[in-house]
Structure 1
């Protein structure tokens, strides 16, 4: 129910269509086709969006983050359409819904030290008031994901391993104290030994801090490990959804 006082985010029959920009090609691609999704603030959970490349799962994630406007349907934040939010509400929306991307290099500026990655959003959202508060919150967030501040702060991105960079992205998202994290293939670029560590960190954050997550993946194994609910996407549509145990162990749709 989009009018429920506890509904944090609601997608109502959302679609996204990309049209060719070619003068001679008027074709279009319906990347997301009429999908609805609700996240209740009082019932946080991890929902997996699973599908192969081209299924529309990443596009749906970008719609949730407000990085793309829907072609059809409506996205509501606290019962208000996100395209009609006031400036203060839009800023809160940006803070409440954070992202962990597949490739940390897409976020890191190689000319800035890791410290800047943490300090910039704290300043933007006015989360801390003093340098000591800022430092303490950064260090606590880093330690939550199994890293040591002394081994990460003061360094440039290229001086860290892929696993360290990805865990820093998790720590950064956590530090902003969001209500929803959209994690797009967060373990696909790290080796197997680190996947379990990152997945466990996501589960721990969800359970201890009551944060909902949208876990985007092509890998049903990791979806099974981390998620409670799952939506199977194929060619822009949700072809099957429900409890992750039921969907994966007793699938109804041939694609699943």
Structure 2
């Protein structure tokens, strides 16, 4: 079966020309396949500069890869005809990070919703146009009578972002790439936007790539999780395994960075350091080696492949080199195939997200403390 959208060994390098002589590898040997027949939510997490947005722009065709290919229904994006590009733009939609800059302040919000309808000729009359817009707004929990006819500055950040979700929904896409969709809106409004995304996956069978630096929200709405660091995949698989039983030292560091509002409880001395302790030479080896307390000689000599540590997880760490390795394009082997309605975290209230993820983090602390005491 041909995937809807697929990245194969994609690498993106910026710079290296006459003006920008310093080369920056934003994404390296990245592979991902999205199957529209089994719509899932794939979370991609990592700190700033890890390559998340570059990955999104490559998948959307807004950037060209330096190496590798991005395929739409088996065909390279660089070779699509005008008709195929039109189909691609309808099937693959984006929700961007900033809900303030995507609007023209001189137009009412009706304008941003009318554009896709006109461009793709979805309506034959003004009445049909209005009906489509109202249906999309209602699907994301907005009242048309309170939203239409208003300028962007008259809506809250959460409302503006939900209008962008409605705009994407108008085209009935098969995939939505959401790049940090809740990072610039109030915490009180994030749950609503995330619930909208979850509903799109569950009700309309839309696959979603959810990009974020917030492991908490990724855990709450994702089926599978990819952890990026410095442009490379560190760990990937079932979100329940990756978050509750992290294997890669960087994943553990991410979980360790989750705010825990209890000053009486502290991490054990085994917590990972975020200070650069070692240096790699010539850019070879694991990219996380200079921050990893478990690094040993192989880590500085060659980048580790993905080791499949069980059916639904792969980890790029030599601590697991006794397990069979897989190629980057085989990462889909470890992903769970299920619908949103069958996942536990997808049915839980999003307002409890922080507490639940903190509980997971505290359990890791307790387990570490018991291990140290036994030793």
Normalising by structure 2, we get a TM-score of 0.66
2:50–2:231 Cα contact (<8 Å) kept:
yes
CA distance in 2 between partners of 1:11 and 1:164 (Å): 33
Stretches (4+) displaced over 3 A: 20-23
Counterpart in the other structure of 1:60: 55
**Structure-2 residue corresponding to 1:129:** 124
How far has the Cα of 1:131 moved from its partner?
Answer: 1.2
Q: Secondary structure at the match of 2:4?
A: strand
Shift of 1:241: 0.3
Matches within 5 A, 1:62-81: 62-81=57-76
> How many residue pairs align between the two structures?
251
Structure of greater Rg: 2
Q: Following TM superposition, by how much is the alpha carbon of 1:20 offset from its aligned partner in structure 2, in angstroms?
A: 5.1
The whole-number CA distance in structure 1 between the counterparts of 2:36 and 2:157 is 32
- Distance in 1 of aligned mates of 2:110 and 2:72: 31
Where does 1:99-118 land on structure 2 (aligned, <5 Å)? 99-118=94-113
Distance 1:145 1:209 in 2: 12
Q: What's 1:17 paired with? A: 13
Q: Structure 1 residue 150 and structure 2 residue 150: aligned? A: no
Q: CA RMSD for the aligned pairs?
A: 1.1
Structure 2 segments unaligned to the other structure (5+ residues): 252-375
Contact 2:56–2:179 (CA<8 Å) still a contact in 1? yes
Distance in 1, Cα, partners of 2:156 & 2:100: 11
Aligned match of 2:270 = none
Unaligned runs of 5+ in 1: none
Residues 9 and 68 of structure 2 are in contact (CA less than 8 Å); yes or no, is this contact kept in structure 1?
yes
Three-state SS of the structure 2 residue aligned to 1:102 is coil
Deviations along 1:181-215, one digit per CA (max 9) or x if unpaired, are 01111111121221111111111110110000000
Q: Match for 1:85 among 77, 80, 83?
A: 80
Q: Secondary structure at the match of 1:255?
A: helix
TM-score (norm 1): 0.95
2:24 counterpart residue number: 29
SS of 1:105's partner is coil
- Equivalent residues of 2:235, 2:248 under 8 A apart: yes
CA distance in 1, matches of 2:148, 2:80: 36
Q: Name the CA distance, whole Å, in 2 between partners of 1:74 and 1:117.
A: 32
The answer to whether 1:220 aligns with 2:215 is yes
Would you tell me which structure has more strand in proportion to its own residues? 1
Deviation at 1:106, TM superposition (A): 2.3
- Of structures 1 and 2, the one scoring higher in RCO (CA 8 A, sep 6+) is 1
Q: Could you list the per-position Cα deviations for residues 221-250 of structure 1 after superposition, in whole angstroms to 9, with x for gaps in the alignment?
A: 000011000100000001100000100111
Matched residues in 1 for 2:220 and 2:163: separation? 21
DSSP-derived class of the 1:31 partner? strand
Aligned partners of 1:193 and 1:27: how far apart in 2?
42
